Amino acid sequence: MFVEGQGVPADLEIDDKEDKAIHFLARNNKELVATCRLRIINNYAKLERMAVKSDYRKQGVGSLLIDRVEKFAKKKNLKEIKLHAQVKARSFYQKNNYELVSDEEFMEAGIKHVEMKKRL
């Protein structure tokens, strides 16, 4: 989803954190329609690599996936989720009650991002 859908270089798709992350998938029958991963870092969770296929955006799939991730994090007694949101997806995360840590933008994989967080 990142390489084809967002033009992220293939060599950035898999990193040294892949094996330590918990992966979440959303499917429509057998079709993969959304994905993300969660890493537990000290006493917080970090949501990463969130992607929803373009045909399934604005249908609640991403919010449903985030809800499942948050429930999982709560069961692990984590109190906060942090993430780096693509600037164009900032409003999506805000609708899911994430707040900006700072308005300062930074680049990841050639895409502008902002840091966000949510208390659980």
Measured CA distances, 99 to 16, 38, 65, 94, 111 (Å) = 28, 18, 18, 6, 20
**Domain locations in the chain as residue ranges:** 2-119
pLDDT tens digit at each of 120 positions of the chain: 444 545 554 554 555 666 789 999 999 999 999 999 999 999 999 999 999 999 999 999 999 999 999 999 999 999 999 999 999 999 999 999 999 998 899 999 889 999 999 999
Domain made up of 2-119: CATH architecture: 3-Layer(aba) Sandwich (3.40)
Which residue type is seen at 80? E
pLDDT at residue 67, rounded to an integer: 97
pLDDT at residue 26, rounded to an integer: 95
Burial class (CB in 10 A: 0-12, 13-18, 19+), 38: buried
